[in-house]
Chains A and B, each alone.
Chain A
Amino acid sequence: GENVEQHPSTLSVQEGDSAVIKCTYSDSASNYFPWYKQELGKRPQLIIDIRSNVGEKKDQRIAVTLNKTAKHFSLHITETQPEDSAVYFCAASILNDYKLSFGAGTTVTVRA
């Protein structure tokens, strides 16, 4: 099955700085890569996703890049704010299969 590795496990950044989280996947058939944000005691919320037919996608301060050849994808958060503090999970699946394999998560702390 699919194996998704995520690094780092924790990330502390100064408010206004950028945060980068990296994930690798093992199954070359995977072609859908969502990112979820989970605040303490809350459900995971989708923040951005990317399909394998594109290399980059942006949504305001958030961007995701995908390197299919290397089988890795990254989340970039610019101009971090205290409300960005949360656990972030990457995931991978085969589109139309929908079974998500999650990374271990990254706890992001934004220092004011």
Chain B
Amino acid sequence: SAVISQKPSRDICQRGTSLTIQCQVDSQVTMMFWYRQQPGQSLTLIATANQGSEATYESGFVIDKFPISRPNLTFSTLTVSNLSPEDSSIYLCSVVPGDQETQYFGPGTRLLVL
């Protein structure tokens, strides 16, 4: 498996501001994803973080609201822009190590927007 860390682990933000979440993996991985888990809900895929190119977004998620960077095979950031209380969620990155088919999740970033 891969060791995945996320920063920050939690944050409280004011509406209208932005939060950037970092995801770091201890080994190079081919696939990295970002998911959202709203309070008491399931996980929803936001986008695939593509190394060296623009992220691929799922229906209902747009780059202006959720810009993603992936400068290399071990790191990615997700920014949640122009925050509103509806953005209060847990944001998780996930990875698929190159020699496996299993998807592993980071510890998540708990965001509260006031």
Contact = CB atoms under 8 A, between A and B. Distances in A.
Interface residues of B, number: 21
Contact of A98 (B43, B44, B103): B103
Interface centre among A1, A98, A104, A105 (most CB of B within 10 A): A98
Contact of B101 (A42, A43, A95): A95
Contact of A44 (B31, B59, B105): B105
Interface in A53-92: 89
Interface of A: 1, 32, 34, 36, 42-46, 49, 89, 95-96, 98-105
Given A96-B101, A100-B43, A103-B42, 11 more contacts: A36-B105, A43-B92, A43-B105, A44-B92, A45-B105, A89-B42, A98-B31, A99-B45, A99-B48, A101-B45, A105-B42
Interface of B: 31, 33, 41-45, 48, 58-59, 92, 94, 96, 101-108
